[in-house]
Amino acid sequence: MKKHILMAVALLWGTSAVAETLWHMPTPYGDRNFHTANIIEFADQVSQASNGEFLIKTHSAGSLFKHPEIATVVRRGLVPIGELLMSRLGNENPLYELDSIPFLASNYEQAYQLWQASRPEIEKVLSERGMKLLFAVPWPPQGLYASRELADTSDMAGLRVRAYNRATEQIALAVNAVPTQVEAPDIPTAFSTGRVDAMITSPSTGANTQAWDYVSHYYPINAFLVKNMVVVNQQAFDSLTVEQRQILLDAAKQAELRGWQASREETDRTVAIMAEKGMSITQPTAHFMEQLHGVGEQMIEEWLNRSGVEGRAVIDAYRKLSEAIDQEGN
Ligand code: PCA
C-alpha cells in the first residue's frame, strides 16, 4: 500500500529531469464550466510566468479523482493541488458551510463581505489539515428548478430533490422533500432515469446541464452563493522555490478577482440561455419567499449551535463589515 502511494506521489507531484515542476490538479466540474475555465487560465499564467518550468495540468469533471475524494488526496499529498466546493467539507468543520446558509448572503456584495469576514478562519482550519488556501470563487446565486409551478413550500413535499451539500439536503428535508446526493456531471442522467425531479443550483449549472431537457420551471430564489476553493498541500507548496511560490500566489490572486467577475457575468448569460430555450423563469411569490426565509432562519440557528464561538465571531465580523459598508454608501 505504502509503495503504491509513493509511486502515485512520484507520478502526480513530480520533478522531472529537466528541472520542471509538474503538478496534476483534479477539479470536479466539466470543461464548459466557468470555474474550470478560470483554473485553466490560472495554470496558463503559472506556466508563462515560470517560462514553462512550473506546469499545472488540470483534470476536470472528476476524471482524476472524484469530488468527494479531492480534499483527502490533497491533504495526503497524492496530488499537490485541487479544487472543491468549500461547503462539502462541512463534516470536518461547520465553518466551511457558512456560505451555504440560506439568505445570509444572497448577492455578490454580501457574499464578498462574508468571504472577507470568514477567510482568515477558513485559512486557519485548512492549515490545521496541512493545506493552504489559494483562492475561492462563488457560483452564481442558487435557484430552484422543478417540472411544475411552485408557489408554496407544500408544493415541494414529496419531490425528489437533487442535493450537492448538506445545506441543499437540509432545505429539501425542511419542506418535506426527499434529498438525493448527485454529482454535477451526473445531473442529466439522474433526471432522465427519474432518480430526482427537482434541484437547487445555479443558472450556470442549469444551463451547462441543459436543464430545459428535464425541467420546465426555474425560480431565482437567490438562496446563497456557495464557493469553490483551490487548495494546495502545504508540503508541496513548501517544496517550491521562492520564485515559484510567488508565481503561484500572484496567479491565485488574479484568478480570484477574475473568477468573481466571471461569476457575475455567468449569472445573466446563463439565465438568458435558459429563457431562450423556453424555460419558465419567474420570480417566486412573496409568500413562497417568506416561507423559504423561515427555513433559512432555522438553518442559521442550527449552524450557530454547531459552530460555537468561532462561528458566532465570524457572523459578527460579517455583520460589522456590512454595516460599515452600508454606512459608507449613505
Ligand atoms: N453548481 C454546483 C455547486 C453549486 C452550483 O451552482 C452543483 O450543482 O453541483
| Helices 166-174, 286-329: inter-axial angle, 10-degree rounding | 130
- Residue pLDDT, tens place only, 10-32: 455 555 545 599 999 999 999 99
Atom of ligand 1 nearest to the CA of 202: 6
Mutate to test the pocket of ligand 1, among 27, 29, 164 (most ligand atoms within 8 A of CB): 164
Give the ligand 1 atom nearest the CA of 139.
6
Cβ–Cβ < 8 Å for 63, 8: no
Q: Is residue 41 a contact partner of residue 55, using CB atoms and an 8 Å limit?
A: no
Q: Which of 162, 187, 196, 201 to mutate to test the pocket of ligand 1 (most atoms within 8 A of CB)?
A: 201
How remote is the CA of residue 195 from the centroid of ligand 1, in Å? 18
Check residue 282 and give its pLDDT.
96
Q: In what order do the strands lie in the sheet with 21-26?
A: 13-15, 21-26, 54-59
| 198-201, strands of its sheet edge to edge | 178-181, 160-163, 198-201, 143-146, 217-219, 280-281
* pLDDT values of the chain reduced to their tens digit, one per residue, 330 residues: 344 444 455 455 555 545 599 999 999 999 999 999 999 999 999 999 999 999 999 999 999 999 999 999 999 999 999 999 999 999 999 999 999 999 999 999 999 999 999 999 999 999 999 999 999 999 999 999 999 999 999 999 999 999 999 999 999 999 999 999 999 999 999 999 999 999 999 999 999 999 999 999 999 999 999 999 999 999 999 999 999 999 999 999 999 999 999 999 999 999 999 999 999 999 999 999 999 999 999 999 999 999 999 999 999 999 999 888 777 765
Ligand 1 pocket list (CB less than 6 A): 85, 139, 164, 184, 201-202, 204-205, 226
- State which of 83, 183, 205 you would mutate to test the pocket of ligand 1, scoring each by most atoms of that ligand within 8 A of its C-beta: 205
| Phi, psi torsion values for 8, nearest 5 degrees | -65, -40
Identify whether the C-beta of residue 79 lies closer than 8 Å to the C-beta of residue 13. yes
Measured between alpha carbons, how far is 294 from 289 in angstroms, rounded to an integer?
Answer: 9
User: Which are the contacts of 73, defined by CB distance < 8 A and separation ≥ 6?
Assistant: 26, 65, 79, 82
The rounded distance, in Å, linking the Cα atoms of 87 and 104 is 14
Sign of CA pseudo-dihedral 93, 90, 30, 108: negative
- Which cell numbers in the block locate residue 249? 500566489
What are the grid coordinates assigned to 211, written together? 436543464
CA–CA dist 262, 35 (Å, integer): 9
Q: Whose CA is nearest to atom 7 of ligand 1?
A: 184
Query: Which of 88, 139, 199, 200 should be mutated for ligand 1, with most atoms under 8 A from CB?
Result: 139
Distance CA 312, CA 303 (A): 9
Q: Give the pLDDT confidence score for residue 172 in this predicted structure.
A: 98
For cell 428535464, the residue is 214
Report how far ligand 1's centroid is from the alpha carbon of 139 (Å): 7
Which residues lie across from 137 on neighbouring strands? 228
Residue nearest to atom 4 of ligand 1 (CA): 201
Cell of 226: 456557495
Distance 223 CA to ligand 1 centre (A): 12
What are the Cα distances from residue 166, in Å, to 173, 214, 232, 290?
10, 24, 24, 22
CA distances to 50, 132, 240, 281 from 278, rounded to whole Å, are 47, 43, 51, 9
Q: How far is the CA of 42 from the centre of ligand 1 (A)?
A: 21
Ligand 1 geometric centre to CA of 200 (Å): 8
